[in-house]
């Protein structure tokens, strides 16, 4: 039934290359921004290498047969928690194919899809359990459905969509109105959040089939959230509490990853209902996560739960920032960026990408950390599920990273929206068969200098939107050498007749910034652009004296008559929230360190005289501690003064891995 499936053509352009699988007739709210289509993005430089490592050494090397087997064998043993891995891995593999649509990638996702579809029962059941509603049954089915939809979106193969629809029919038969309530399935301590996150593929399948029964089921799921159930007398109340601005830690169960996954489903439901309440709920929730939970590196949670992380991030938290939370936060922000076009979400994603996410990926791209601390040491994720040779975060990290090509340059009604600055090439369809080829020439964020080169067959009038990050207070932009007014954050819109050979130059404000911790103004950290800096034991050893960060809030003086240098120590509370600090790049760098800077500190041998400047080297957070050993220690927040003999918590793997036994190792390294 080809005519059922109207290919969505975006209103102005971008549509020529965009074949999204949504049935436009069911959409009641249009996205402000759309992802870069398949095969139109090539990212090089630092980010390009990270993507390559993640794809070649991570995604492509995984034995997906191990993820299919649980669906074929089926097992109700509660310890056999393995239904999520096929779909998690597959959705990252599908994104990898979208980024690099080679025959090799196509073969991989094709075979993996066939393998899963072969396990489907004649009734359509796709589950790793024999009985319905085991603790992680619906959660695993959700990922299977997401994987099948992702395959359909990449290839247009209707069999995968049919398989997903039949899997959903089977679920509705046992969990539809009058049957088992999804709000009373899965772990009760998670208040059924995991099961209810199935909302996302339910709506995605509705968007692609247009069948009313799937929209009815989606609405039914969300109605149940408001009703009391045997897990919670209040009901889950996700929409009501989000709308009321309740802190995420007090919404339903505080399981960060599953909670955000339910809100991802609500974003999809907004697209097909146009119900403003849903959009308001997800946006309010997103801002609450930013304000109350996210730490400086762009992720949150402790022990997988929301923890008031913004206020508590200077503490030695146990199990901070689960990589599943980090990747899901990026995916959630991506939804909000598409829906609202508000660049605040791209600012968030950029910080999370360069810090929390890439800090959690092992240098070879094959494995990931479970948790990412702000001080101490990094530790690889333990092998959670040996039968699948993987772990929740190892499967999720790539799903966050592989979103990058999609949101790097997006489509709007007016023209390209550039969210990410990186060396690379983007193709952008223009009306009448014209095409813009956009080349970025930059080593950003090592420097703030970015050159955009426009190649196109014919001149065309459109708007290039440049994301000016909120931290860039002093931005300069030139079009063909002419300076353009650009001193504000958000999207700078350059609308004009663009022609072949046009050049845009951008200079972002890369001054070092000293930030005070929200929960403890006596603790400070240094950022440069989107990158958080950290002390690392490869550069800074412990010593027995104090130093103070020497930012521009200090009044550095030279007394002519006494011939002394000194800085008046003012109370920290008198400093503004953000101060600048001089940073000098360090070269050359040890292997595996992306960037490092000499950072000025103040040494005070006595209260008032003989003060000296002393530099400590700090590197980017993702490189800090990336030897993943008990010897390679690091620290982000620095109390003032900073006692150098107490820089790094030792053996902190024991707060990351609170079990008896040895420190977890990379399973693939010897
Ligand atoms: Zn995880």
Question: Closest by alpha carbon to 430, among 3, 5, 14?
Answer: 14
Distance 370 CA to ligand 1 centre (A): 6
Distance 368 CA to ligand 1 centre (A): 10
| More confident call, 257 vs 658 | 257
Q: How far is 345 from 347, CA to CA, in rounded Å?
A: 5
Q: How many domains, in total, are found in the chain?
A: 2
Distance 139 CA to ligand 1 centre (A): 14
Domain boundary, last residue among 462, 487, 509: 509
pLDDT at 508 over 50: yes
Distance 391 CA to ligand 1 centre (A): 7
Are 557 and 607 within one domain? yes
Distance 367 CA to ligand 1 centre (A): 12
Distance 51 CA to ligand 1 centre (A): 20
For residue 479, being part of any structural domain is answered with: yes
Q: How far is 162 from 4, CA to CA, in rounded Å?
A: 14
Are 516 and 491 within one domain? no
| Sign, CA torsion 294/297/303/309 | negative
For residue 488, being part of any structural domain is answered with: yes
End-to-end CA distance of the chain: 54
| Residue 276 CA neighbour count, 13 Å, CB half | 0
pLDDT at 670 over 60: no
Q: How confident is the model over 3-9, as a mean pLDDT?
A: 36
Q: How confident is the model over 186-214, as a mean pLDDT?
A: 97
For residue 186, being part of any structural domain is answered with: no
pLDDT at 25 over 90: no
Question: Do residues 657 and 557 touch, judged by C-beta distance below 8 A?
Answer: no
For residue 322, being part of any structural domain is answered with: no
Q: Give residues with Cβ within 8 angstroms of 328, minimum separation 6.
A: 256, 257, 260, 261, 264, 396, 400
H-helix segments, 182-299: 193-196, 199-209, 212-225, 238-243, 256-273, 276-288
**In which band, very low, low, confident or very high, does the pLDDT at 487 lie, cut at 50, 70 and 90?**
confident
Distance 227 CA to ligand 1 centre (A): 29
DSSP string, 221-235: HHHHHTS--SS-TT-
Distance 362 CA to ligand 1 centre (A): 15
Distance 322 CA to ligand 1 centre (A): 6
Distance 65 CA to ligand 1 centre (A): 21
Using CA atoms, how far residue 365 sits from 357, 370, 449, 667, in Å, is 12, 14, 28, 13
For residue 339, being part of any structural domain is answered with: no
**Residues pairing with 532 in the sheet:** 527
For residue 462, being part of any structural domain is answered with: yes
Q: What is the pLDDT of residue 18?
A: 37
**Residues pairing with 557 in the sheet:** 566
Are 557 and 651 within one domain? yes
Distance 384 CA to ligand 1 centre (A): 10
DSSP letter (8 states) at residue 181:
-
- Residue 481 belongs to domain spanning: 1-23+424-444+449-509
Q: What is the pLDDT of residue 662?
A: 94
Are 649 and 526 within one domain? yes
Distance 292 CA to ligand 1 centre (A): 21
Question: Do residues 470 and 529 touch, judged by C-beta distance below 8 A?
Answer: no
Are 638 and 575 within one domain? yes
Distance 401 CA to ligand 1 centre (A): 15
Domain boundary, last residue among 509, 526, 541: 509
Are 546 and 620 within one domain? yes
Q: How confident is the model over 36-47, as a mean pLDDT?
A: 98
Are 575 and 458 within one domain? no
Distance 324 CA to ligand 1 centre (A): 4
Task: Of 111-120, 259-268, 318-327, 481-490, give the lowest mean pLDDT range.
Answer: 481-490
Distance 290 CA to ligand 1 centre (A): 20
Are 638 and 619 within one domain? yes
Structure tokens at 432: 């009448």
Domain boundary, last residue among 490, 509, 528: 509
Distance 632 CA to ligand 1 centre (A): 23
Task: Of 288-302, 337-351, 572-586, give the lowest mean pLDDT range.
Answer: 572-586
Q: What is the pLDDT of residues 514-570, one digit of tens each?
A: 999 999 989 999 999 999 999 999 999 999 999 999 998 887 777 777 777 777 666
Other CB atoms within a 10 A radius of the CB of residue 240 amount to: 16
Are 614 and 499 within one domain? no
Are 468 and 536 within one domain? no
Q: What is the pLDDT of residues 138-195, one digit of tens each?
A: 999 999 999 999 999 999 999 999 999 999 999 999 999 999 999 999 999 999 999 9
Are 565 and 464 within one domain? no
Distance 279 CA to ligand 1 centre (A): 27
pLDDT at 39 over 60: yes
Are 455 and 564 within one domain? no
Q: What is the pLDDT of residue 10?
A: 34
Distance 386 CA to ligand 1 centre (A): 15
Question: Closest by alpha carbon to 293, among 284, 301, 281?
Answer: 301
For residue 288, being part of any structural domain is answered with: no
Distance 396 CA to ligand 1 centre (A): 7
Distance 304 CA to ligand 1 centre (A): 8
pLDDT at 365 over 80: yes
Distance 381 CA to ligand 1 centre (A): 9
For residue 402, being part of any structural domain is answered with: no
């Amino acid at each position: 039934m080809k005519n059922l499936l109207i290919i969505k053509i975006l209103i102005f352009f971008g549509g020529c290359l965009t074949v999204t699988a949504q049935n436009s007739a069911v959409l009641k709210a249009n996205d402000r921004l759309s992802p870069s289509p398949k095969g139109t993005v090539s990212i090089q430089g630092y980010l390009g290498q990270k993507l390559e490592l993640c794809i070649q050494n991570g995604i492509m090397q995984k034995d997906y047969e191990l993820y299919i087997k649980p669906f074929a064998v089926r097992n109700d043993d509660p310890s056999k928690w393995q239904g999520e891995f096929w779909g998690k891995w597959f959705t990252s593999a599908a994104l990898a194919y979208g980024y690099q649509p080679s025959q090799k990638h196509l073969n991989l996702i094709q075979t993996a899809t066939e393998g899963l579809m072969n396990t489907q029962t004649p009734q359509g059941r796709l589950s790793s359990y024999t009985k319905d509603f085991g603790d992680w049954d619906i959660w695993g089915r959700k990922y299977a459905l997401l994987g099948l939809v992702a395959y359909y979106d990449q290839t247009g193969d209707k069999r995968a969509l049919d398989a997903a629809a039949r899997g959903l029919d089977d679920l509705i038969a046992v969990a539809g109105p009058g049957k088992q309530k999804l709000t009373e399935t899965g772990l009760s301590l998670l208040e059924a959040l995991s099961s209810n996150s199935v909302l996302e593929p339910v709506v995605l399948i509705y968007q692609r089939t247009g069948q009313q029964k799937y929209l009815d089921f989606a609405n039914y799921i969300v109605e149940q959230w408001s009703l009391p159930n045997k897990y919670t007398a209040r009901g889950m109340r996700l929409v009501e509490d989000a709308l009321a601005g309740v802190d995420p830690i007090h919404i339903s169960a505080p399981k960060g990853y599953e909670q955000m996954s339910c809100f991802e489903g609500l974003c999809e439901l907004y697209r097909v209902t146009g119900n403003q309440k849903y959009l308001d709920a997800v946006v309010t929730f997103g801002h609450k996560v930013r304000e109350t939970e996210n730490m400086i590196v762009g992720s949150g949670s402790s022990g997988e739960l929301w923890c008031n992380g913004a206020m508590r991030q200077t503490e030695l938290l146990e199990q901070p920032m689960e990589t599943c939370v980090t990747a899901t936060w990026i995916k959630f922000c991506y939804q909000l960026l598409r829906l609202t076009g508000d660049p605040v979400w791209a600012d968030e994603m950029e910080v999370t990408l360069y810090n929390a996410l890439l800090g959690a990926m092992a240098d070879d791209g094959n494995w990931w950390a479970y948790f990412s601390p702000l001080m101490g040491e990094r530790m690889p994720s333990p092998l959670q599920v040996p039968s699948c040779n993987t772990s929740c975060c190892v499967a999720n990290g790539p799903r966050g990273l592989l979103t990058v090509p999609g949101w790097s340059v997006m489509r709007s009604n007016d023209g390209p929206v550039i969210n990410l600055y990186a060396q690379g090439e983007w193709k952008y369809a223009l009306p009448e068969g014209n095409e813009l080829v956009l080349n970025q020439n930059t080593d950003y964020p090592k420097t703030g200098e970015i050159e955009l080169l426009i190649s196109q067959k014919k001149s065309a009038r459109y708007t290039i939107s440049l994301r000016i990050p909120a931290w860039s207070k002093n931005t300069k932009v030139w079009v063909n050498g002419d300076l353009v007014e650009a001193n504000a954050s958000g999207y700078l819109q350059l609308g004009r007749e663009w022609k072949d050979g046009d050049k845009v130059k951008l200079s972002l404000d890369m001054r070092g910034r000293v930030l005070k911790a929200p929960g403890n103004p006596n603790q400070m950290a240094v950022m440069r652009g989107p990158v958080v800096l950290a002390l690392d034991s490869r550069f800074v050893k412990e010593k027995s004296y104090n130093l103070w960060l020497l930012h521009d809030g200090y009044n550095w003086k030279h007394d002519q008559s006494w011939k002394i240098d000194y800085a008046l120590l003012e109370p920290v509370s008198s400093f503004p929230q953000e101060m600048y600090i001089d940073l000098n790049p360090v070269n050359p760098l040890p292997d595996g360190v992306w960037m490092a800077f000499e950072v000025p500190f103040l040494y005070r041998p006595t209260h008032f005289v003989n003060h000296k400047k002393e530099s400590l080297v700090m590197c980017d957070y993702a490189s800090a501690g990336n030897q993943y050993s008990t010897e390679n220690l690091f620290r982000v927040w620095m109390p003032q003064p900073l006692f150098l003999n107490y820089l790094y918590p030792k053996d902190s793997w024991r707060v990351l891995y609170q079990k008896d036994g040895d420190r977890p190792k990379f399973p693939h390294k010897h």
